[in-house]
A and B are shown apart, each in its own frame.
Chain A
Amino acid sequence: MMDSSVKIINEWDIVAARQLGRNVAKELGFGTVDQARITTAISELARNIYLYAGQGEITIEKIENEAKKGIIIISRDAGPGISDLRKVMEDGFSTSGGLGAGLPGVKRLMDEFSIESDPRKGTLIQSVKWLR
């Protein structure tokens, strides 16, 4: 049984998180395009932890409900939190540079997305992609 969490402390941990995500996605039967989307979303979340929170954790799990199977990415950190959630979810806002990057990008790559942030506790992001 593979460890389903990766601690993000330095940039190379992003690769480990991607690898974990790719393995799980492959096992579930996601095609190459969706695998690329899932790993890109993981990169984005892990990079956010690395850049803004200093450290945190990416957890990847298989999920299942009555009708479908999917993958969930959970990003957790105890960083400074995000004061204006609406703003970071806005297109064209990304500070980490580049078009299309940032949390709106993750939201678009995945099927479900939720975010909670508290300046004292940090940020928790959960995002799901369902197998079609």
Chain B
Amino acid sequence: MTRVLLTALIHRALLLGGAWLALTSAALEALAPGAVAVAVAVWLSLRLLPPKHPFALWRLARHVPRFVAGSVVGGVDVARRAFSPDMRLNPGWLELPSDLPDGARVALGGELSLMPGTLSAGTEDGKLLVHLLDTDAGFDRAIPREAEEIAAIIGQARSARG
């Protein structure tokens, strides 16, 4: 068993096992069915989404405060615009070359969609399509940093440019 597969197995077993414990309040009589359910779920998850890259959980954990802060700023920003009389919108598109692998690109796109002023519409010809709510507000300045942190989580330092 490779190292990548082993870490994926451990992470997913912990994640799904944790979810089972939370859902059942760790009731004793739920432990045995839980063991079976978690084992099957981990197996299914490895079948449906085979791990291809190393995964640094601590880097993901370190990324959480930044994500939460971005969520707050992003939510407050759209709320302010939605309630203001003129909304001050200046929407536009940005094409972003990205050499992140597919799954990481989807993760980056999903994250950007929750961060202030950016929204991903998938990729075209290896370029991430990003919609900006206000092209004058400099929302795009945060993108390289997000891409870098996601690349670092899957063990690809400096793989994302642009």
| Pair from one complex | no
Binding site for B on A (CB under 8 A): none
**B residues whose Cβ falls under 8 Å from a Cβ of A:** none
